[in-house]
Amino acid sequence: MWESLRRWLLAIPYSEPLERRQALLIQLIELGKLIIALALLALPLMVPLSPVGRAALVGLTMVTAVAAVPALGLVRRGRLDAGALISALSLTVVLSVMLYGNTLDDGAVTMFAYAVPLTLAGVVAGRRALLIVLALSVLGVCAAVVLGRVGAPGAGFALVVGDTTAVALVSFVIVALLLAFVIDGLSALTREALAARRARERELEAMSRRLESAVRERTADLEIALGALEQRAAEQASLLDENQRQRVLISALSVPVLPLGRRTVVLPLVGEMDDARLAMVSEQALGAVERLAARRLLLDITGVPVVDTHVAQSLMRTVSAARLLGAEVALVGVRPEVAQAIVGLGIDLGPMSAFADLQSALG
């Protein structure tokens, strides 16, 4: 039986542990109210009360039992706040009626019991529910006091004729037990919530430490990778500089200057001549004439496969500039097809000498 009741109590639609404990507490409170209300149905018949008092007490116990049912149903359907609010409101209404029946002079126990619905509403149902229960409690107490003072019909219906010590003690014990049960349950919930929060904080701290360690390791890896990239970039920059120097050297070697004797300079040209190489030819030729004080410049075009208008005109500009520096210029390596091309292009070589080979030019 107890195991079946336990399974029934735990069959609630709450996944969060704190909500499950709160729902379990509200269920136990409502079941306790229901059992107590049913057990106290015979109490009005056992104490010396007026007929109105007996009827009122029977009605209050019935109201308490009936109000427990919807509160219990709401909690089991997943509406914990609404169930806690109905439970607190029903208790507030019952206490207000009991205060009206006992009057303010004999209602110390009833006033003490208002802590139960206020605590229940504030801790479980939230601030809004607390304000509602607080307003209803204040309104109920004020109404009971005012109606009792003006002598409204039924005021003091729960007053016991004769010695009230036993009734007061029993009432106090019941209220104190109920309040202690609620406070203990809510205190357990608070402790569990605090423990869960501390556990989450410790877990977060551990995660933070792991994350910091991972960040440090990743930063170290990135610094190593960055150092490697910087080293690779420096190596690539060095290779580019070396490549550029080699290009300059190759360009210079592609137009070599060969001094023959004290006054003669030979520039052997090999390969196709583009704008860059033609500019290098002009620079090398004029520089050699000036540097070596040459009086004769031999442009050997034996290795040039094609001599077109652009190449011929560039060579003629170089020839003209060399003449201005005082050097005689001769064109060496004129093959038949080159000669035909020059004539076909209509290029006038002017006073420049032309030779078939270097030997003829030197002879």
159 and 299 part of one domain: no
196 and 258 part of one domain: no
Q: What are phi and psi of 106, to 5 degrees?
A: -110, 20
Residues whose CB is less than 8 angstroms from the CB of residue 330 and which lie 6 or more positions away in sequence, other chains included: 296, 297, 298, 299, 352, 353, 354, 355, 361
Tell me if 268 is assigned to some domain: yes
* CA–CA gap between residue 172 and residue 242 (Å, rounded): 101
| pLDDT > 80? residue 98 | no
Distance of CA 242 to the CA centre of its chain: 48
Domain total for the chain? 2
* CA–CA gap between residue 295 and residue 323 (Å, rounded): 9
147 and 62 part of one domain: yes
* CA–CA gap between residue 345 and residue 31 (Å, rounded): 119
Q: What percent of the chain has pLDDT over 70?
A: 80
17 and 148 part of one domain: yes
201 and 292 part of one domain: no
Q: Tell me what the mean pLDDT of segment 151-180 comes to.
A: 62
| Residue 262 belongs to domain spanning | 254-362
pLDDT for res 189: 66
Tell me if 212 is assigned to some domain: no
Q: Cα-Cα-Cα-Cα dihedral of 111, 113, 114, 116, to 10°?
A: 170
User: What letter represents residue 91's amino acid?
Assistant: L
pLDDT in tens, 288-304: 888 888 888 888 888 88
pLDDT band at 50 (very low <50, low <70, confident <90, very high): low
Closest CA to 38 of 2, 82, 13, 69: 69
- Give the CA radius of gyration of the chain: 57
Q: What are phi and psi of 52, to 5 degrees?
A: -65, -40
260 and 200 part of one domain: no
202 and 313 part of one domain: no
pLDDT band at 144 (very low <50, low <70, confident <90, very high): confident
Tell me if 315 is assigned to some domain: yes
**Hey, what are 93's tokens?**
């209404």
| pLDDT > 70? residue 47 | no
CATH number of the domain to which 340 belongs? 3.30.750.24
**Mean pLDDT over all residues of the chain?**
78
93 and 192 part of one domain: yes
Tell me if 121 is assigned to some domain: yes
pLDDT for res 113: 76
| pLDDT > 80? residue 329 | yes
271 and 199 part of one domain: no
Q: Which alpha helices (H) appear in the chain, and where do they start and end?
A: 2-10, 17-39, 43-46, 51-76, 80-102, 108-113, 115-120, 127-150, 165-254, 275-292, 309-324, 336-345, 358-362
Last residue of a domain, one of 206, 234, 268: 206
| pLDDT > 70? residue 105 | no
Q: Tell me what the mean pLDDT of segment 332-342 comes to.
A: 77
Tell me if 240 is assigned to some domain: no
115 and 31 part of one domain: yes
pLDDT band at 265 (very low <50, low <70, confident <90, very high): confident
192 and 81 part of one domain: yes
* CA–CA gap between residue 317 and residue 70 (Å, rounded): 112
Tell me if 337 is assigned to some domain: yes
0.85 exceeded by the pTM?
Answer: no
Tell me if 273 is assigned to some domain: yes
Tell me if 235 is assigned to some domain: no
